[in-house]
């Protein structure tokens, strides 16, 4: 019988490496790795079909969120300087672009709508949380979150490949169903 590293142990080792990915140097949103990692398993597990659905969906969600931020930064005060006027413009941008995002989910490439919202939420958290290699910069937040969200599925694939490879032929992988 071959020694098998439990997925729980190997995944924890991978999770620990995230401390070195962003750290203080680039201020990357390493938590966004975990969003992509979890999304991988929610969407069907670490396989080619899941990655083909999840990665474009998360990127599209982040891109739509970037567009909302850019519109708000450019035209947010078009109705006036009051907070109510700015909120009305923001609501309009969200209404229009979120509707477009949802309709984009009707395409084959972007059909994984929850994946789009993982990217959407990750972008806003990165932007307004001051993460990214240039804090509160819309494009830096976008690049940073795209990279970190994309690493999540990579971590899922690596963890699965290492722990599944160690299994003996003909045995079922250990899966907690509770």
DSSP state of 93: H
Tokens of 90: 């923001």
Q: Does 38 score more than 70 pLDDT?
A: yes
State the maximum Cα–Cα separation within the chain, in Å, rounded to a whole number: 72
Mean pLDDT throughout 135-163? Answer: 96
pLDDT over 70, % of the chain: 90
Give pLDDT, residue 4. Answer: 80
H helices of 22-77, in order, are 23-26, 31-42, 48-75
Q: Rounded to 5 degrees, what are φ and ψ at 169?
A: -60, 140
Q: Does 175 score more than 50 pLDDT?
A: no
Count CA within 13 A, CB hemisphere, residue 145: 34
Non-local (6+) Cβ contacts of 132 within 8 A are 26, 27, 28, 29, 126, 140, 141, 143, 144, 145
Total-model pTM? 0.87
Give pLDDT, residue 150. Answer: 97
Give pLDDT, residue 12. Answer: 95
* Local confidence band at 130 (pLDDT 50, 70, 90 cut-offs): very high
Nearest Cα to Cα of residue 151 among 22, 65, 37: 37
Q: Does 148 score more than 80 pLDDT?
A: yes
Q: Does 2 score more than 70 pLDDT?
A: no
Residue 175 in 3-state DSSP? Answer: coil
- C-alpha of 33 from chain center: 7
CA dihedral 75, 79, 81, 83 (to 10 degrees): -100
């Amino acid at each position: 019988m071959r020694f098998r590293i439990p997925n729980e142990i190997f995944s924890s080792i991978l999770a620990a490496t995230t401390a070195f990915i962003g750290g203080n140097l680039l201020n990357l949103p390493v938590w966004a790795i975990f969003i992509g990692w979890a999304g991988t398993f929610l969407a069907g597990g670490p396989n080619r079909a899941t990655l083909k659905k999840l990665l474009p969906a998360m990127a599209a969600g982040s891109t739509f969120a970037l567009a909302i931020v850019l519109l708000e930064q450019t035209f947010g005060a078009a109705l006036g300087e009051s907070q109510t006027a700015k909120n009305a413009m923001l609501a309009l941008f969200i209404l229009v672009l979120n509707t477009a995002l949802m309709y984009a989910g009707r395409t084959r490439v972007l059909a994984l709508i929850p994946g789009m919202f993982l990217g959407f939420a990750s972008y806003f958290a990165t932007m307004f949380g001051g993460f990214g290699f240039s804090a509160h910069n819309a494009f830096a937040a976008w690049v940073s979150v795209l990279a970190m969200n994309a690493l999540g599925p990579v971590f899922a694939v690596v963890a699965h490949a290492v722990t599944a490879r160690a299994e003996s032929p003909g045995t079922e992988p250990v899966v907690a169903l509770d």
